[in-house]
Amino acid sequence: MESRQLLYTGLKEKGFNLTDEQIYSLMEYMNLVLEENKKFNLTAIEEENEFINKHFIDSILMYDNSQEEMLVADMGTGGGFPGIPLKIVHPNWKMTFIDSTEKKLKFIEAACKKLGIENVEFVHSRAEDVGRADEHREKYDLVFSRAVASMNVLSEYCLPLTRLGGKFIASKGPKYQEELEDAKKAIEVLGGKVDNITEIMMPYEDIVRYLVICKKIKKTPLKYPRRQGVPSKKPL
């Protein structure tokens, strides 16, 4: 199946009807990533159909097709996933991309300008630092993260950014239950509660993704996140 059709059909099967403009933007972003990847490592996935399924469809399925305006953060965005696909599908969102590698953020910023993607912000920072900054702490309706860290570490990165009543959403594989067991204390201490776990069967492949959705029910204590390196070395 041709790449563009693969993208459209795979998402339509899951209830997403993308416009021609959205399909075009996604395909153009893939081309930009694969071109940049020749000079700088943004992704290990270089085959187009695999890219579409594992980067685009996998990212877009992290949230339903709501078009409401929200403040959204992509923690540890890397090559722009899940943030860029989600932003293209949800144009009303204000999306903040956070990463500790400036070169990756510069690429995403340039790609957004080229594709006319607006209402975006780029934060070059370690997760531990951005979580303490007044302009970001407990400000976001949704905080996404994919393939960044285990749940106990990720919770300390993401829940301090999530507003009361907001949600932190992590994409996980089949070992999510073990991660959640280890993260029980962290999620509670940081003000969160596991609200839902959504099982998603990926199109075209026998792969299941698990979305761990944590709701922010109380404020994160001021001492979190701890200083750089501590959450990963000494998880809660």
DSSP structure string for 119-172: SEEEEE--HHHHTT-TTTTT-EEEEEEESSS-HHHHHHHHGGGEEEEEEEEEEE
pLDDT tens digits, one per residue of 139-180: 999 999 987 789 999 999 999 999 999 999 999 999 899 999
pLDDT at position 19 is: 94
pLDDT tens digits, one per residue of 98-152: 999 999 999 999 999 999 999 999 999 999 999 999 999 999 999 999 877 899 9
Q: Per the annotation, where are the binding residues for S-adenosyl-L-methionine?
A: 76, 81, 99-101, 127-128, 146
Q: Per the annotation, where are the binding residues?
A: 76, 81, 99-101, 127-128, 146
CATH class of 65-233: alpha beta
pLDDT at position 58 is: 94
What is the token pair recorded at 99?
A: 């990463």
Domain boundaries, the chain: 65-233
pLDDT at position 9 is: 94
Contact 188, 194 (CB under 8 A): no
The band of 1, judged by pLDDT with boundaries at 50, 70 and 90, is low
pLDDT tens digits, one per residue of 18-63: 999 999 999 999 999 999 999 888 988 889 999 999 999 999 999 9
Tell me the backbone φ, ψ of residue 11, rounded to 5 degrees.
-75, -35
